[in-house]
């Protein structure tokens, strides 16, 4: 007997609207000195949605957003939901060239920016993609520059379709060019529920967001806020002293960080001879393998660090260590969240406990694929399982240890840097014959990219000149920190670059 | 762009199995002196599933269970999940006649009982529905009487299909005969998630279940245990002193009760000059409108009572008062759980705030319908909304006040009693011409059923004889507590019995 009516579990009452109905006066978001209740946020999202609608944005429209963490960002995310439009968050660290490529690739119909990025956005000058600026006044009202709020009531949605695309978020890969990961509302919902089942959910929770909202680790905090009906303390950027102050003064109970941030926070804490209050119940540590000394230091200080492993394709956390296991399984990323299935594959077979292999994921928090990249989607999935490309193993109790992110991925201060993208840029230089990029260990950033180059016969280019060439074309965090000239690059029998061999060529 | 792959959100890793993997040693259920960890429960469910499979039970088989709260019940619920079979929980208070009717109506292929109800089950003697007894030994092992555990590994499920039917649970209605409400795994999941978002979820929660597991309010606690990965303290029956002792000694954080239970618990507490420990964070009070003095008494004592409104068709809670509103909205059932939509309809139109009307519900926690009763299903649903038949209104802030359960429903000590069912029995008596049943207020039970009877001309039957007639054919809680002989019954112009007018005929 199939009595399924899947439509029942497909449409949920709008999350923000429910928060505004249930707890209109509860703090939704604090940013700087401005505090918005859920009623404030709800009203501002509706108002902004009506303005955006006057620009022709409707269901399925792709709207790019170039902005720093702030109230305009938050209002815009929810305004687009009310219109059924798709958010394309742009990494503010990208070069104009990189931004233009993404805007065109995603076929954005509108580019929104905040005031800080207004001139950069104007500079892009894409004929088919108009730019409008989001203006915030001192009272925290957000509106579109020079666009009157429509008098007419355009129809705003009061239900969320879990199957609908909320976001297209670009992430690079082995192919050189970034791909747009489809993130549905359902992925956000299931991810938030999985996280709450693992970490617990307290109605008075307050989540500090200091990671960029254009990354999934930041954006998903905004979604958890409205799914859980809890407060967010939003920081424009990471600044260790300000974060520590907020933890002490704003009743923060959960914070998401990457290792380099946590290291700086601890250093600032020591400089002030302080410690964190006990209401801070979870320091969610993602964005790549954490140095063991850092974990041990936190354990000594009784800082409740919870390691997690996730990626854009899994809508942030996929595997998380439960607080109860934090010490017993120090160094592990934990176990898959309740809705997620995990397996390690080695030579097309499930690996045995302790055996290394590629991490595969499956479940309702995993992306259905890459926007307009059917081949990339087909490549990434095997029998419904996403191949993450990352290496790891499970211990006898099924806890995941991530050995390395995919061999070609460099994680620098929590940002993913893809060698193929840097290689493609350098290869375009007239004096470069071959190039291979890999990560070099770095005390401050975890890793930084460096490039190995074989020059064209007869050329005599200088490293400084190549570095300047890359710097013009790549976001700062992708700039190679060194160029090494070599006679030949390590390649396998098929002629394919073997990047892990590059690491062995690094000067000791 | 429809990128939906609903199958991803349809299959979840088996809840109990995940608990056994994540926290094998964590207490799953304590019943009397026996404590089962999640690993224990997982193993016992698998073992029992293999035994049950030898009786021919497979996916979709309907297996009735006549048992009191206990470990055999818990093992059986999860064993049937592993087989994809459907549980039909039988109310142990029913008469043999009522049990036979339900077993035949649901076309059960097997009747399981515990030892206590083995002789009652044997008595039923239904030729097509064999009976087998679940035996628990002192160590808490549960097995089927005289059935060896199969040596061969039958295939057990490791994924749960949210669209699949878990349970068919009978509930009466206006029609006289009970109907089987379809309860899917998805309803349980969404209900548990909705409840956790509202009440909070703490990994060390411990939920006390003293309501019968054959009712949704009891059964859903077993589901929450494996969905949340938390402990259950299971009591065989409600006994106020034992419950109070468990709350003090077993670390109970949440308990589900009906008003009559809570009243007795408070009386026992006073007799012992005790109060509840602060770890008891939620007393979830359902099963009909709560007397205001009881709520005020609890408020004075700082007992965290949370009122809720729900029904079998909504898989328990549908509307719940959040703990933060408990005092401010005393007497309200609260607001719909996050996945649930609620509206009040009056003359086919949504009612205004403050205006009374019928309560309608919609969402993934609501039943898809009644098993093999397409007309009843069609009648109950309007445009995807379930008409509960219960009356209520929303205040200006959208909080639900339940005025009365459906006019024809009597709630006696938390059990639903349907006048039509009692009327149908009495009407079959040769001396009865007309009958009308309604509820009479009762200090102990909230309400008790009483019957108004017009005798056949010339007959001279005694009340005692009619009461004895009903007692033979109806479960004890449905026995009329009084018979009133009348000359005529209140009927509307269409000749339909107006039960609310009966109440006015009661002697003051």
Mean pLDDT score across all residues of chain B: 91
What backbone phi and psi angles, to 5 degrees, belong to A97?
-60, -45
Select the residue of B60, B228, B364 nearest A1 (Cβ to Cβ): B60
3-state secondary structure A94-126: CCHHHHHHHHHHCCCCEEEEEHHHHHHHHHHCC
Select the residue of B3, B335, B339 nearest A165 (Cβ to Cβ): B3
Measured between beta carbons, the chain B residues lying within 8 angstroms of A227 are 197, 338
The pLDDT-based confidence of B500 (bands split at 50, 70, 90) is confident
**Percent over 70 (pLDDT), chain B:** 94
Taking CA–CA distances from B322, the nearest residue in chain A reads A22
Measured between beta carbons, the chain B residues lying within 8 angstroms of A2 are 163
Measured between beta carbons, the chain B residues lying within 8 angstroms of A13 are 336, 338-341
Mutate which: B3, B332, B337, B366, vs A, most A CBs within 10 A: B3
Give the pLDDT mean for B127-143.
90
Taking CA–CA distances from A361, the nearest residue in chain B reads B8
Least confident of A300-304, B58-62, B176-180: B176-180
- The SS3 of residue B365 is coil
C-alpha distance from residue A191 to each of A86, A255, B90 (Å): 19, 16, 37
- Sequence-distant (≥ 6) Cβ neighbours of residue A40 within 8 angstroms: A28, A140
Closest CA relative to residue A7, chosen from A159, A155, A189, A157: A159
Give the residues across from B184 on adjacent strands: B165
Mutate which: B1, B2, B9, vs A, most A CBs within 10 A: B9
Measured between beta carbons, the chain B residues lying within 8 angstroms of A184 are 3-4
Cβ within 8 Å, pair B197-A227? yes
Q: CA of A203 to nearest chain B CA: how many angstroms apart?
A: 6
Q: Using one digit for the tens of pLDDT, what is the confidence trace for B428-442? A: 899 998 899 999 989
Cβ within 8 Å, pair A197-B202? no
Which DSSP symbol is given to A201? B
**Token output for A443:** 């005390």
- The SS3 of residue B150 is coil
**Percent over 90 (pLDDT), chain B:** 72
**Token output for A467:** 């570095």
C-alpha distance from residue A423 to each of A379, A429, A506 (Å): 22, 10, 17
In this predicted structure, what is the pLDDT of residue A444?
86
Strands (E), B162-240: 165-171, 179-184, 206-209, 231-234
Give the pLDDT mean for B248-265.
93
Q: In angstroms, rounded to a whole number, what is the distance separating the alpha carbons of residues A428 and A446?
A: 28
Select the residue of B190, B201, B368 nearest A196 (Cβ to Cβ): B201
DSSP string of B402-417, one letter each residue:
EEES-TT-EEETTEEE
Cβ within 8 Å, pair A8-B201? no
Cβ within 8 Å, pair B368-A8? yes
Sheet containing strand A34-37, edge to edge, reads A34-37, A27-31, A231-234, A206-209, A254-258, A282-286, A305-311, A316-320, A335-336
Mutate which: B202, B254, B320, B364, vs A, most A CBs within 10 A: B364
For chain A, say whether B176 makes contact (Cβ under 8 Å): no
Q: In angstroms, rounded to a whole number, what is the distance separating the alpha carbons of residues B236 and B70?
A: 6
In this predicted structure, what is the pLDDT of residue A3?
39
Measured between beta carbons, the chain B residues lying within 8 angstroms of A363 are 8, 12
Within 332-351 of B, beta carbons closer than 8 Å to A belong to 335-336, 338-341
For residue B54, pLDDT over 60 is answered with yes
**Residue-level pLDDT, tens digit, chain A, 508 residues:** 333 445 578 999 999 999 999 999 999 999 999 999 999 999 999 999 999 999 999 999 999 999 999 999 999 999 999 999 999 999 998 999 999 999 999 999 999 999 999 999 999 999 999 999 999 887 778 889 877 766 556 789 999 999 999 999 998 655 567 899 999 999 999 999 999 999 999 999 999 999 999 999 999 999 999 999 999 999 999 999 999 999 999 999 999 998 889 999 999 999 989 999 999 999 999 877 677 888 889 999 999 999 999 999 999 999 999 877 887 888 899 999 999 999 999 888 999 999 988 999 999 999 999 999 999 999 999 989 999 988 889 999 999 998 765 657 888 888 888 887 888 889 889 999 889 999 998 988 889 999 999 998 888 899 999 999 999 989 999 999 999 999 988 876 656 677 878 888 888 7
Measured between beta carbons, the chain B residues lying within 8 angstroms of A193 are 193
Q: CA of B143 to nearest chain A CA: how many angstroms apart?
A: 28
Give the pLDDT mean for B360-388.
94
The pLDDT-based confidence of B173 (bands split at 50, 70, 90) is low
Within 70-129 of B, beta carbons closer than 8 Å to A belong to none
- pTM, whole model, 2 decimals? 0.86
Measured between beta carbons, the chain B residues lying within 8 angstroms of A394 are none
The pLDDT-based confidence of B177 (bands split at 50, 70, 90) is confident
Which residue did the predictor score with more confidence, A372 or B414?
A372
Q: Using one digit for the tens of pLDDT, what is the confidence trace for B67-111? A: 999 999 999 999 999 999 999 999 998 999 999 999 999 999 999
Cβ within 8 Å, pair A23-B324? yes
Cβ within 8 Å, pair B324-A203? yes
Give the residues across from B65 on adjacent strands: B89, B112
Cβ within 8 Å, pair A8-B182? no
Cβ within 8 Å, pair A193-B193? yes
What backbone phi and psi angles, to 5 degrees, belong to B475?
-55, 150
C-alpha distance from residue A229 to each of A200, A226, B196 (Å): 14, 5, 12
C-alpha distance from residue B409 to each of B288, B405, B503 (Å): 10, 6, 13
For chain B, say whether A380 makes contact (Cβ under 8 Å): no
For chain A, say whether B148 makes contact (Cβ under 8 Å): no
Taking CA–CA distances from B12, the nearest residue in chain A reads A339
Q: In angstroms, rounded to a whole number, what is the distance separating the alpha carbons of residues A390 and A409?
A: 9
Between chain A and chain B, how many beta carbons pairs sit less than 8 Å apart? 117
In this predicted structure, what is the pLDDT of residue A211?
92
Q: CA of B464 to nearest chain A CA: how many angstroms apart?
A: 46
Q: CA of B5 to nearest chain A CA: how many angstroms apart?
A: 7
Cβ within 8 Å, pair A3-B190? no
Select the residue of A9, A184, A363 nearest B162 (Cβ to Cβ): A9
For chain B, say whether A157 makes contact (Cβ under 8 Å): no
In this predicted structure, what is the pLDDT of residue A112?
98
Select the residue of B1, B8, B21 nearest A165 (Cβ to Cβ): B1
Q: Quickly count: other Cβ atoms within 10 Å of residue B236's Cβ.
A: 15
In this predicted structure, what is the pLDDT of residue B405?
59
Q: In angstroms, rounded to a whole number, what is the distance separating the alpha carbons of residues B109 and B131?
A: 9
C-alpha distance from residue A486 to each of A314, A355, A435, A454 (Å): 38, 35, 9, 5
Cβ within 8 Å, pair A363-B8? yes
For residue B3, pLDDT over 50 is answered with no
Give the residues across from B233 on adjacent strands: B30, B208
For chain B, say whether A184 makes contact (Cβ under 8 Å): yes
Cβ within 8 Å, pair B197-A229? yes
Cβ within 8 Å, pair B203-A324? yes
In this predicted structure, what is the pLDDT of residue A414?
81
**Token output for A183:** 């993130």
Taking CA–CA distances from A16, the nearest residue in chain B reads B338
Q: Using one digit for the tens of pLDDT, what is the confidence trace for B195-217? A: 999 999 999 999 999 999 999 99
What backbone phi and psi angles, to 5 degrees, belong to B287?
75, 35
3-state secondary structure B231-295: EEEECCCCCHHHHHHHHHHCCCCEEEEEHHHHHHHHHHHHHCCCCCCCCCCEEEEECCCCCHHHH
For residue B404, pLDDT over 70 is answered with no
Give the pLDDT mean for B412-419.
84
Closest CA relative to residue A69, chosen from A263, A217, A188, A171: A217
Q: In angstroms, rounded to a whole number, what is the distance separating the alpha carbons of residues B262 and A95?
A: 66
Select the residue of B4, B203, B398 nearest A200 (Cβ to Cβ): B203
Task: Give me the domains of chain B, ranges plus CATH numbers.
Answer: 12-160 (3.40.50.980), 187-406 (3.40.50.12780), 409-505 (3.30.300.30)
For chain B, say whether A162 makes contact (Cβ under 8 Å): yes
Give the burial string for A94-130 (b: 16+ CB within 10 Å, else e). Answer: bbeebbbebbebbebbbbbbbebbbebbeebeeeebe
Query: What ipTM describes this predicted complex?
Result: 0.85
Select the residue of B15, B200, B339 nearest A203 (Cβ to Cβ): B200
For chain B, say whether A228 makes contact (Cβ under 8 Å): yes
Taking CA–CA distances from A321, the nearest residue in chain B reads B22
The answer to whether B362 and B340 are in contact (CB under 8 A) is yes
B174: burial class by Cβ within 10 Å (0-12, 13-18, 19+)? middle
């Amino acid at each position: 007997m199939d009595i399924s009516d899947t439509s029942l579990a497909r449409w949920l009452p709008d999350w923000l609207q429910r928060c505004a109905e249930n707890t209109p006066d509860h703090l939704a978001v604090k940013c700087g000195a401005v505090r918005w209740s859920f009623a404030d946020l709800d009203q501002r999202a509706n108002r902004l949605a009506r303005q955006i609608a006057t620009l022709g944005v409707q269901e399925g429209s792709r709207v790019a957003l170039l902005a720093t963490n702030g109230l305009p960002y938050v209002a815009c995310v929810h305004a687009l939901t009310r219109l059924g439009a798709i958010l394309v968050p742009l990494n503010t660290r990208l070069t104009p060239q990189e931004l233009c490529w993404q805007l065109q690739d995603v076929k954005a119909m509108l580019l929104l920016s905040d005031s800080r990025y207004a001139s950069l956005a104007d500079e892009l000058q894409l004929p088919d993609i108009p730019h409008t600026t989001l203006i915030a006044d001192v009272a925290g009202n957000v509106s579109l520059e020079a666009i009157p709020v429509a008098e007419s009531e355009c129809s705003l949605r009061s239900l969320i379709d879990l199957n609908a695309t909320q976001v297209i978020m670009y992430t690079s890969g082995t192919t050189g060019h970034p791909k747009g990961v489809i993130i549905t509302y359902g992925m956000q919902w299931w991810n938030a529920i999985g996280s709450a089942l693992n970490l617990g959910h307290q109605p008075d929770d307050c989540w500090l967001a200091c990671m960029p909202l254009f990354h999934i680790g930041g954006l998903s905090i905004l979604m958890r806020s409205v799914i859980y009906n809890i407060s967010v303390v939003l920081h424009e950027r990471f600044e260790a002293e300000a974060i520590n102050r907020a933890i002490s003064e704003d009743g923060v109970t959960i914070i998401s960080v990457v290792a380099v941030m946590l290291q700086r926070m601890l250093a600032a804490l020591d400089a002030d001879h302080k410690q964190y209050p006990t209401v801070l119940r979870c320091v969610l540590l993602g964005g790549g393998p954490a140095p063991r000394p850092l974990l041990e230091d936190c354990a000594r200080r009784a800082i409740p660090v919870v390691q997690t492993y996730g990626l854009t394709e899994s809508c942030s956390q996929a595997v998380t260590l439960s607080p109860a296991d934090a010490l017993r399984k120090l160094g592990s990323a934990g176990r898959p969240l309740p809705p997620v299935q995990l397996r390690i594959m080695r030579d097309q077979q499930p690996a045995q406990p302790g055996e290394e292999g590629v991490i595969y994921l499956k479940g309702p928090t995993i992306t259905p694929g890459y926007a307009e990249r059917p081949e990339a989607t087909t490549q990434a999935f095997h029998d419904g399982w996403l191949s993450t490309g990352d290496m790891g193993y499970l211990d006898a109790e099924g806890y995941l240890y991530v050995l390395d992110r995919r061999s070609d991925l460099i994680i620098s201060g929590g940002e993913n840097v893809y060698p193929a993208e840097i290689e493609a840029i350098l290869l375009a230089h007239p004096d470069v014959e071959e190039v291979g990029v890999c990560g070099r260990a770095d005390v401050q950033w975890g890793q930084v990219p460096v490039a190995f180059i074989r020059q064209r016969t007869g050329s005599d280019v200088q490293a400084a000149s190549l570095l300047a060439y890359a710097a013009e074309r790549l976001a700062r965090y992708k700039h190679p920190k060194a160029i090494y000239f070599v006679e030949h690059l390590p390649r396998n029998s098929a002629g394919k670059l073997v990047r892990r061999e590059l690491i062995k060529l690094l000067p000791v």
